A and B are shown apart, each in its own frame.
Chain A
Amino acid sequence: MSQSEATSRRPRSAAGLIAATVARRLGHGAFTLFVVSLVIFSLMSLMPGDFAKSILGQAATPETVAAFQREVGLDVPPVQRYVAWVGNVAHGDFGNSFVTSGAKKRAVADIIAPRLKNTMFLALITAALAVPLALGLGILTALKRNSFFDRAVNALTLTTISMPEFFMAYLLLMLFSTKLHWLPGLATVDAGDPFLEKLRRCTLPALTLTLVIVAHIMRMTRAAILNVLDDPYMEMARFKGITRARMVLRHALPNAWAPIANVVAFNLAYLIVGVVIVEVVFAYPGIGQLMVDAVSTRDIPVVQACSLIFAGVYVLLNLAADIASILSNPRLLFPR
């Protein structure tokens, strides 16, 4: 009876608190995206060179340039262009690519969608491998602080985090593809490929990214747990005869979640936003490469859409980390 009473109070206040946080953070996020859109748009306008010339080529006649500018809307003043762009984006319309025109005209969304899907796929399989591995290593090294295992793992992850990712990528490529022939060196995937084939092709890029982010998450997990181990309630747990493993998992971990959740969110964001170098090495058709290509071809609508998606990823993942922190902290869940 009393238990049901005590727990029945929980969902309402907790859900209310989380709803309020989500609403507030989404508001902040929307504002952030607005600022980002302004910055992106201004930077695009400041980009050197003539869009029309760089797309149509040096030989383009003034008439074709003017016609092109009219077609893509570059003939109107920037403020008006910005307002129109933001308005369309708000309706889910990212506009049309500059590079394709006339009959071959393609919507930005159609260009980005498959690339984003690929990036998400790589990010997901990397996360599925890296996050549990990193958390496990972090917990184990904290448990066995200063042991040989702890030092070995620390040295290893420090090495992987210190090496540039492209170097790591080439190293793995050389070893597993060129020398051992275990895995394909090119990660060119198509939407039609069977899942297992995609998985096989993504193994090397996923491994590379895992090596990059495991160190980060693992070290933060270890530090957060060690930080908590000095708290008086850990001594109390010891004096209650609690086993070492249970002390770490049940007493330390729940109090260390907040920083761990943050670093996990940060690294997941990196997996979507920052993997262009690894994509290039393995020729993986992800969104990072798409954006770089779009920058070099001055395909402004694509660049703008990619930037906004990246900003949105950060906002959402940070929100997820905040919710995880609240859920793990009874002080926030159950105010006095």
Chain B
Amino acid sequence: MGADPLLHIKGLRIEGLSDGSWRPILRGIDLHLARGEVLGLIGESGAGKSTLGISAMGAVREGCRFADGEIRFDGQDLIALGDEGCRPLRGARIAYVAQSAAASFNPAHRLIDQTIEASIQHGLLTDGAARAEAVALYRQMQLPAPEEIGFRYPHQVSGGQLQRVMTAMAMLCRPDLIIFDEPTTALDVTTQVEVLAAIRSAVKTNGTAAIYVTHDLAVVSQMADRIMVLRHGQVVEEAQTRAMLAAPTQEYTRSLWAVRKLNRPNQPDAQALLTVVGASAAYPAGPEVLRDVSVTVPRGRTVAVVGESGSGKSTLARVITGLLPPVAGTITFDGTALSPTLAGRSHDMRRRIQMIYQSADTALNSRQRLSEIIGRPLSFYHGLSGAARDRRVAELLEQIELPPDFADRFPQELSGGQKQRVSIARALAAEPDLILCDEVTSALDQIVQEEILRLLMRLQDEKGISYLFITHDIATVRAIADRVVVMHRGAVVEQGPKAQILSPPHAPYTRLLLSSVPEMDPDWLGRLLELRSRG
């Protein structure tokens, strides 16, 4: 490490405005980064890792401010330069790669125009040279049809490809530093592998320094030379990647490291509660998104439906709930045939099948108190009112491990995990036999995820509820499933008891899926790529 680091942050404090007062987000951070070095920033959401990453460009998000400290980039004091003073550096010497490429590309312009925009704006390249360079980088990022892909609009390109275009965009001006802000979090594991490989090789080839922000330890251990663990806006621990993986010194780091402790051995099959036979479905005027799917959910068991986005997992749930009547196939529930449409189902049948959604933020009405959110199904399905309903709401809050006085709160006063608990209570209020869980833990931190999964398992043991658990996360499947259904492109690839599906021999797609799950071993990605290139 040279005496003059590329980036040197000293005692950085950043505050954010919330409820009319400034609260600390970063509480005195020191950070240094040498040229060509990749630093991983890891921590749970709200740890301040993204804020720290962005501050390396001399920027803060809307509603935040620098309170104290110093950011020196190649000798220049970025805070003293100010937002406008830093502008010539951004996109030229310091580039940024955002989490959601789909949202971060302007929908109104072609990809190539956006890729070269910064280089033209900063007067670094001529239009022709920039376009040629962009195509070269598209090729380096292993994008298909590198000559042509730039002429597409963002909506015409897949998420994984967009993320690579964005990395090419960041690379175009040959910056000294790139900030990667959770660049693969929104991607499927199978796509993630390709993007990780492309980013890693591009950073290595061009000798760019990088700050890689993520909450996924396995991912960061593939990408970073050094890892910094953040919590509550402070550095918990910092070490070279291999050293930290081998021997984390702090308790908090170890808790992040610990592979998920929850691992229910799969229980034997029980009598079928829900049987879907040969279901096919399509959205109006669209192609078939579900093809000849047959699935059985045994009573009191958990069936995990796993697959990448677009595999038809959520469509299957919509078919079972009756929201999307299938074009073919039958659904049997507890021995009786279910009407394909919601309108054709009895009040009681609707009560018996409930649903929990991925985003509790949008699934809960932010203008209703918890007593109303949970109480509504109690009135609707069980005719409860007044004191009886209040008592039942308190019971349900107790079951989801929230204090009874939460009944008077609004959803936005709750943390992400607590909100998801409320969603569970709302489903429980109907006293269902089957709950469809659609990616219910995907938006949550590792630690909170595990708490929610434990809660769901406890409720299953107590009440004998069956779960159809939709997820793209293999670790979650490993933790809770009794049976596993692997889906790909609207069809079932294979299904069976967890022990059978997760151990070899695998169907080819299952093998691809399982091998794409990052492991906490810095050599995992290299090994995997070598293995795949050999076929």
Contact = CB atoms under 8 A, between A and B. Distances in A.
Q: Do A and B bind each other?
A: yes
29 contacts: A2-B148, A2-B151, A5-B148, A232-B98, A232-B104, A235-B104, A236-B96, A236-B98, A239-B54, A239-B57, A239-B91, A240-B91, A240-B95, A240-B96, A240-B117, A241-B92, A241-B121, A242-B118, A243-B121, A246-B121, A251-B106, A251-B108, A255-B106, A255-B107, A255-B108, A330-B107, A330-B153, A330-B155, A336-B156
Nearest to B89: A241
Interface in A224-253: 231-233, 235-243, 246, 250-251
B121 A235 contact: no
Given A241-B88, A243-B121, A233 B151 contact: no
Nearest to A5: B148
A240 B120 CA distance: 11
A250 B109 CA distance: 9
Interface in B77-99: 87-92, 95-96, 98
Contacts, number: 85
Contact of B98 (A235, A241, A242, A329): A235
Contacts of A238: 59, 90
A147 interface: no
A331 interface: yes
A261 to B, nearest CB: 14
Given A240-B96, A251-B108, A328-B108, 19 more contacts: A2-B148, A2-B151, A5-B148, A6-B151, A7-B151, A235-B61, A236-B96, A239-B54, A239-B59, A239-B91, A240-B95, A240-B121, A241-B118, A241-B122, A242-B121, A329-B107, A330-B153, A330-B155, A336-B156
B130 to A, nearest CB: 13
A1 B369 CA distance: 60
A254 B108 contact: yes
A329 B106 CA distance: 11
A3 to B, nearest CB: 6
DSSP majority for the A interface?
A: helix
A232 B147 CA distance: 27
B57 to A, nearest CB: 6
Interface string A72-113: 000000000000000000000000000000000000000000
B103 interface: yes
Interface size class of A (residues with CB under 8 A): 20 to 34
A225 to B, nearest CB: 13
Contacts of B118: 240-242
B108 A329 contact: yes
Contacts of B105: 233, 236
Tell me if B's interface is mostly helix, strand, loop or mixed. Answer: loop
A237 B105 CA distance: 9
Contacts of A5: 148
B104 A241 contact: no
Nearest to B99: A232
A241 B107 CA distance: 19
A336 B104 contact: no
Interface string B134-164: 0000000000000110011101100000000
B100 interface: yes
B96 A239 contact: yes
A31 interface: no
Contacts of A236: 96, 98, 104-106
Interface string A248-267: 00110011000000000000
Interface string A136-151: 0000000000000000
A246 B114 CA distance: 13
A239 B54 CA distance: 9
A34 interface: no
A104 B107 CA distance: 62
Nearest to B90: A241
Interface in A187-232: 231-232
A328 B108 CA distance: 7
Nearest to B151: A6
Interface of B: 54, 57, 59, 61, 87-92, 95-96, 98, 100, 103-109, 117-118, 121-122, 147-148, 151-153, 155-156, 169
A124 B460 CA distance: 71
Given A2-B151, A6-B148, A336-B156, A242 B108 contact: no
A334 interface: yes
A240 B105 CA distance: 12
A241 B175 CA distance: 13
A237 B57 contact: no
B98 A331 contact: no
A52 to B, nearest CB: 57
Contacts of A2: 147-148, 151
Contacts of A328: 108
Contacts of A231: 103
Given A3-B151, A6-B148, A236-B96, A331 B107 contact: yes
Nearest to A333: B153
Contacts of B89: 241
Contacts of A240: 90-91, 95-96, 117-118, 121, 169
Contacts of A3: 151
Nearest to A6: B151
A255 B106 CA distance: 8
What are the 7 closest A-B residue pairs judged by CB atoms, nearest first?
Answer: A241-B90, A6-B151, A240-B91, A254-B108, A241-B91, A239-B96, A232-B103
Given A237-B106, A255-B108, A243 B96 contact: no
A81 to B, nearest CB: 44
B390 to A, nearest CB: 39
A334 B96 CA distance: 28
A284 to B, nearest CB: 41
A251 B154 CA distance: 14
Nearest to B106: A233
Contacts of B100: 232
B54 to A, nearest CB: 8
Contacts of A334: 153, 156
Pick the most buried of A233, A250, A331: most chain B CB atoms within 10 A of its CB: A233
Interface string A1-30: 011011100000000000000000000000
Contacts of B121: 240-243, 246
A5 B108 CA distance: 20
Nearest to A9: B151
Contacts of A255: 106-108
B117 A242 contact: yes
A2 B118 CA distance: 23
Contacts of A243: 87, 121
B431 to A, nearest CB: 41
Contacts of B156: 334, 336
A236 B103 CA distance: 9
A233 B109 CA distance: 11
Contacts of A246: 121
Contacts of A232: 98, 100, 103-104
Nearest to B92: A241
A184 to B, nearest CB: 46
A115 B120 CA distance: 53
Nearest to A330: B153
Nearest to B86: A241
Nearest to B121: A242
